[in-house]
Amino acid sequence: MEEGIKVRIDSLYHALSILANGAYTYVTHIESNWTRWSKEAVDYFDLPDEYMQDALTYWMKKIHPEDLPGFKERARNLFEDAGNYHNEQYRIKNKGGKYVVCTCRGVVLCDEHGKPSFFGGIVRNNDALSYFDDVSNTRSLYGFMDDLRSSTWKGEKLQVMMLGIADFSHLNEIYGYTFGNRVLQEFSKMIKVEACEMGEWYRMDGTKFAIVCKDATSEDLKNLYKRIQYNCIHDFFVDGHQVVLSFVAGAINLDKFDVSAETVYSCLRFAYYESKTNHMGELYVLKSSVSEDKRFAIERINVIRNSIVNECEGFFLCYQPIVDADTEMITGAESLLRWKNSEYGIVPPIEFVDVLERDNLFPELGKWILRTALTDAKKFLGRYPGFVVNVNLSYTQLEKKDFVEDVLAILKETNYPPQNLCLEITERCRMLDMALLKDIFTALREHGIKIALDDFGTGFSSLGLLRELPVSTVKIDRSFVMNIEKDFSDQNTVRFISELANSFSSSVTAEGVETSEMRDFLLRFKIKSLQGYYYSKPIPVKEFLDKYVNA
């Protein structure tokens, strides 16, 4: 091999190997027909050398005879045009003589004259990375993410649906796990038949399945979901037993633009849990376009998600003061998250948190929020020694086994007094195990950290949370305060909540105070503190310092 060609092959090879993420890398110089393979590929597939001439001929000898004709057909015209993309799945023999399923991806690169010059890519061993699920005989979550990365990289228009079997644990309890696996096997067969050639099916985590479609519509997915629901109520048998299944399903409509597979998966999970939590199992479709659904525009979610990766760039905190109900002196503030960039402007959390809190990245954002809030609040303590900063928590943060350790570590890192921190939780925490919550908050209270129950009264679990958890403060939701002067029902509700909280030795904060009349009316009840636009809207830290600390 000429030294110049070797240098160019090696240069491209090293660039690809950085992105390979555990896959085998290869680069071919088309004119000379020399290929550079990764050493791992040479060892695993028993190749002659890292540098091979006419590697394609040797490689085809290893492909399973049943898969070879299709491979040849699709490879024939690969090198004719720049940018041609190779994406194949086939079985190939490894060093031990076993056929393993691989995904091979590559792209043709051209020289300065537009002539195809190099072909480079990766070979991923699906067996080694569990890209296939043995129970359902479908591709797994790993395969789903890998295929999604390929589609989003190419900017393909997709319809993606994730559906899950509801209450599957009860079936396992009645029939056992072996029968449960048989149900998943038969269900997988059934959905493949129903989907026909709509797209590729995947077994996700637990009892969830997903389909990725390139040429389907939202209506196609709705009809598919209806057929699956009908079959599993009326005509689904496993080993002679009729089994009735119910489902939850979410879908997204992905137009052609550049978003990551991880963002698509986060949005898909959000749609799935919307179906489960708020739509009684009906298919919930999340649209991608800003004009269709500005709140959950997927392209904007993608930008915000990438901001978390980039050290939380664009995020900032605003602070809304909390005042003593009797003296109206400031006692603390609630930290409230915001995000901004030049394209979308300032975006409030209601437009992204619901999606991103199911993302694996969200706990990192949570730690950034806590660290920033404590750093800012230290500047307030000189003027107000008893100042308490309130920081909102997501239930996904509480799920992490090292959550308490993270909080204590950030307190130590910022040298912030624990007794001046209050962590706010909402009723959504009902989704977590109550024993887990009690352990977490008991440990936090032992260090002097306060706990507030936010949006109290808006859901069915508020009373249970107050009874079971060591809550310092109950925050009455603004919906009960807006019409407090005229609405007898709201007056009775506020009176009941305040007396209930006091019976549990919890203080009460009323949110949403907007006028002096509202303030005066609320003073009739056992309320410790007030919060709302009457005192201040949420403002950035510099403005907060100028208004309350430096004045």
**Closest C-alpha to 125, from 25, 195, 208:** 25
Q: For 167-218, how does the pLDDT look when each residue is reduced to its tens digit (9 = 90+)?
A: 888 887 777 878 888 899 999 989 888 888 788 899 998 899 999 998 888 8
Sign of CA dihedral 182, 185, 186, 188: positive
Q: What is the pLDDT of residue 114?
A: 77
Whole-number pLDDT of residue 69: 86
CB 83 within 8 A of CB 68: no
Q: Quick check: is 322 in a domain?
A: yes
Checking if the pLDDT of 381 tops 80, the result is yes
Are residues 85 and 222 both part of a single domain? no
Asked, for residue 165, whether it belongs to a domain, the answer is yes
Residues 97-156: tens digit of each pLDDT: 888 888 888 888 887 777 888 888 888 887 665 677 877 888 888 889 888 887 877 777
pLDDT digits (tens, 9 = 90+) for 489-535: 889 989 998 998 888 889 999 999 999 999 999 999 989 999 999 99
Task: Answer for the pair 322, 531: CB distance below 8 angstroms, yes or no.
Answer: yes
Give backbone dihedrals phi and psi of 198, rounded to 5 degrees, phi first.
-70, -40
Co-location of 340 and 209 in the same domain: no
Residue 426 sits in the same domain as residue 527: yes
170 with 280, same domain?
A: yes
Residues 6+ apart with CB under 8 A from 475: 424, 452, 453, 454, 455, 456, 508, 509, 510, 511, 531
Residue 332 lies in a domain: yes
- The answer to which of 114-118, 373-377, 422-426 has the lowest mean pLDDT is 114-118
Q: Which long-range contacts (CB under 8 A, 24 or more apart) does 265-268 make?
A: 265/144, 265/145, 265/148, 266/301, 266/305, 266/355, 266/356, 266/358, 266/359, 267/296, 267/298, 267/301, 267/355, 268/160, 268/162, 268/210
Q: How far, in Å, CA of 15 to CA of 363, rounded?
A: 31
Task: Label each residue of 341-406 as H, E or C.
Answer: ECCCEEECHHHCHHHHCCCCCHHHHHHHHHHHHHHHHHHHHCCCCCCEEEEECCHHHHHCCCHHHH
How far is Cα 32 from Cα 36, in angstroms, rounded to an integer? 12
Instruction: Please indicate, yes or no, if residue 295 is contained in any of the structural domains.
Output: no
Looking at 125, 156, 188, which one is the last position of a domain?
125
Residue 452 to residue 468: CA distance in whole angstroms: 13
Residue 487, SS3 per DSSP: coil
C-alpha radius of gyration, the chain, whole number: 29
Q: pLDDT band at 96, cuts 50/70/90?
A: confident
Three-class SS of residue 486? coil
Q: Are residue 283 and residue 387 in the same domain, yes or no?
A: no
With left for phi above 0 and alpha for psi between -120 and 50, is residue 38 left, alpha or beta? beta
Domain with residue 19: its CATH number is: 3.30.450.20
- Token readout for 230 is 């009908």
Same domain membership, residue 329 and residue 474:
yes
Please compute the mean of the pLDDT values over residues 441-462 and round it to a whole number.
83
Residue 344 falls within a domain, yes or no? yes
pTM of the prediction? Answer: 0.67
- HSE-CB of 323 using CA atoms within 13 angstroms: 17
The number of domains in the chain is 3
What b/e sequence results for 95-121 when a residue is b if at least 16 CB atoms lie within 10 Å of its CB, and e otherwise?
Answer: eeeebbbbbbbbbbeeeeeeebbbbbb
Task: Tell me whether residue 183 is in a domain.
Answer: yes
Q: 443 is in which domain, residue-wise? A: 311-549
Q: Is the pLDDT of residue 291 over 50?
A: no
pLDDT: which is higher, 68 or 112? 68
Which helix (H) or strand (E) segment is 224 a member of? Answer: helix 218-234
Q: b/e for 288-303, b at 16 or more Cβ within 10 A?
A: beeeeeeebbbbbbbb
Query: Which of 61-65, 81-85, 111-115, 250-254 is predicted with the least confidence, judged by mean pLDDT?
Result: 81-85
Higher pLDDT, 135 or 365: 365
Taking every pair of Cα atoms in the chain, the longest distance, rounded to a whole number of angstroms, is 90
Whether residue 434 has pLDDT greater than 70: yes
Query: Is the domain of 150 the same as that of 274?
Result: yes
What pLDDT does residue 38 have?
A: 87
Assign residue 31 a region (left: φ > 0; alpha: ψ between -120 and 50; beta: otherwise).
Answer: alpha
Whether residue 451 lies inside any domain: the answer is yes
Mean pLDDT along residues 413-438: 86
Whether residue 338 is found in the same domain as residue 387: yes
Model confidence over 254-283: pLDDT tens digits?
A: 876 678 888 888 889 989 988 988 888 999
Q: Are residues 180 and 106 in the same domain?
A: no
399 and 514 inside one domain:
yes
What is the rounded distance in angstroms from the CA atom of residue 99 to the CA atom of residue 95? 9
What average pLDDT is seen over the chain? 86
> What 3-state class would DSSP assign to 97?
coil
Buried b (16+ CB within 10 A) or exposed e, 458-473: eeebbeebbeebbbbb
| Domain match, 174 and 120 both | no
Q: In this predicted structure, what is the pLDDT of residue 289?
A: 47
> For position 207, which CATH number holds?
3.30.70.270
d(CA 158, CA 200): 12
Report the pLDDT averaged over residues 355-362: 83
Are 475 and 389 within one domain? yes
The residue out of 109, 125, 141 marking a domain boundary is: 125
CATH number of the domain residue 374 falls in = 3.20.20.450
Distance of CA 175 to the CA centre of its chain: 33
Residue that is last in its domain, among 253, 273, 288? 288
Could you tell me if residue 213 is inside a domain? yes
